């Protein structure tokens, strides 16, 4: 029977079937070693085939559901695994949009993290947007920094939104359900991602209009989040479960975003402005560091490419050289 993986705890998977029923499913040990170098051979958002058997041992007399096949994915978001025994960790599969939740304080999301996330979305052809949360906490200087960031990323074609999920209001003082941000999730499977403590769960509760995800306070000592979401889960929007077309994926907060399967010579392809300007470089294999006739270096000096973006690009090149995780 075919179903959609809507919950992943690491040991079992919640599967929503086409007939509207649900079941907790498992994978057998041999499924995990079919050449899959991932911490999670089955990912949230996967369409899977499930076989039901009579249990044995402790499960005798019960029906046990086994995932026997993962259907071909149209796309996925992946990052390098922090577990060195594996190569990767798939955040979600078959997504229509990836939304990165960003905060300028409590905690501060670095531009390097933003750019790594966007580069990964570019690499795997997943449309992305940025949602700046906790804007009610910003002073005048931080508000100016926010506007600068929004102008930068919108100039590159990434939609941005500024909200305060905790007060259920956008910057125009409209409830979230009536603000422009609410409509961006309609008819899509959307991945919510970000550092711990940026308000993913709070935003999710606001969008759904009910408390489905646990929220927590920021550490006052370190100004960082404390992982209130411990596993990935998909939630249907109003009517989404019956329509099967509008879902939001809540994922645990992530500290770093290690890049995977990116070659040095193609890194510039995942930075839109660097790719566009790089066509003017003297050499076709230019990696935009110290090469003569590099149009990208010239654009950075002239301010046509943001220094923060260029520094993110260089840090990712460095990761490839050193095989680092960040």
Could you write out the DSSP letters of every residue in 237-264?
-TTHHHHT--EEEE----S-----S--G
Per-residue pLDDT of 37-90, as tens digits, reads: 667 789 999 999 999 988 665 566 678 999 999 999 999 888 776 555 456 788
DSSP state of 44: T
Four-residue CA torsion sign, 138, 139, 143, 146: negative
Question: How high is the pLDDT of residue 138?
Answer: 95
Q: Is the pLDDT of residue 240 over 90?
A: no
Determine the 3-state secondary structure of 164 from DSSP. Answer: strand
β-bridge mates for residue 169, sequence order: 164, 175
- Residue-averaged pLDDT of the chain: 82
Residue 16 and residue 19: Cα distance in Å, rounded?
A: 8
- Of the two residues 286 and 202, the one the predictor is more confident about is 286
Cβ neighbours of residue 60 closer than 8 Å, sequence gap 6 or more: 54
d(CA 161, CA 114) in angstroms, rounded, equals 14
Q: What is the pTM of this model?
A: 0.85
Tens-place pLDDT, residues 265-285: 889 999 999 999 999 999 999
| Spatial contact of 157 and 272, defined as CB atoms under 8 Å apart | yes
Contact 193, 201 (CB under 8 A): no
Q: Could you give the C-alpha distances from 5 to 25, 187, 232, in angstroms and in order? A: 9, 18, 10
Kindly write down the DSSP assignment for every residue of 118-162, as one continuous string: HHHHHHTT--EEEEE--GGG--HHHHHHHHHHHHHHHHTT--EEE
pLDDT of amino acid 170: 43
Least confident of 132-141, 175-184, 211-220, 255-264: 211-220
Is the pLDDT at 14 greater than 60? The verdict is yes
Domains and CATH numbers, the chain: 2-70 (2.40.50.140), 76-250 (3.40.50.300), 264-322 (1.10.40.50)
Residue 295 has pLDDT above 50, yes or no: yes
For residue 325, is pLDDT > 80? no
> pLDDT-derived band of residue 18, with 50, 70 and 90 as boundaries?
confident
Q: Locate tokens 């979230």: which residue?
A: 176
């Amino acid at each position: 029977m075919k179903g959609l993986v809507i919950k992943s705890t690491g040991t079992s998977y919640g599967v929503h079937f086409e007939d509207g029923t649900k079941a907790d499913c498992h994978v057998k040990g041999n499924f995990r070693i079919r050449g899959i170098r991932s911490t999670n051979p089955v990912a949230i958002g996967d369409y899977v085939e499930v076989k039901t058997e009579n249990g044995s041992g402790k499960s005798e007399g019960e029906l046990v559901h086994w995932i026997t096949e993962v259907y071909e994915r149209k796309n996925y978001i992946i990052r390098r695994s922090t577990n060195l025994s594996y190569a990767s960790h798939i955040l979600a599969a078959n997504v229509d949009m990836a939304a990165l939740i960003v905060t300028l304080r409590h905690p501060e999301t670095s531009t390097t993290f933003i750019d790594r996330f966007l580069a990964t979305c570019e690499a795997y052809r997943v449309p992305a947007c940025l949602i700046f949360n906790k804007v009610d906490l910003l002073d005048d200087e931080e508000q100016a920094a926010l506007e600068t960031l929004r102008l930068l990323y919108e100039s590159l074609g990434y939609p941005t939104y500024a909200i305060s999920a905790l007060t259920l209001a956008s910057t125009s003082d409209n409830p979230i359900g009536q603000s422009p941000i609410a409509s961006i999730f309609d008819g899509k499977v959307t991945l919510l991602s970000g550092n711990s403590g940026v308000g993913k769960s709070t935003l999710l509760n606001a969008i759904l209009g009910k408390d489905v995800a646990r929220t927590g306070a920021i550490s006052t000592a370190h100004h960082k989040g404390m992982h209130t979401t411990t596993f990935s889960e998909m939630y249907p929007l109003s009517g989404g479960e019956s329509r099967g077309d509008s879902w939001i994926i809540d994922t645990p907060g992530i500290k770093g975003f290690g890049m995977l399967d990116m070659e040095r010579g193609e890194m510039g392809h995942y930075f839109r402005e660097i790719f566009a300007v790089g066509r003017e470089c003297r050499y076709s294999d230019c990696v935009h560091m110290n090469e003569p006739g590099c149009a990208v270096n010239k654009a950075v000096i002239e301010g046509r490419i943001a220094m923060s973006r260029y520094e993110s690009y260089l840090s990712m090149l460095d990761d490839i050289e050193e095989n680092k995780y960040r």
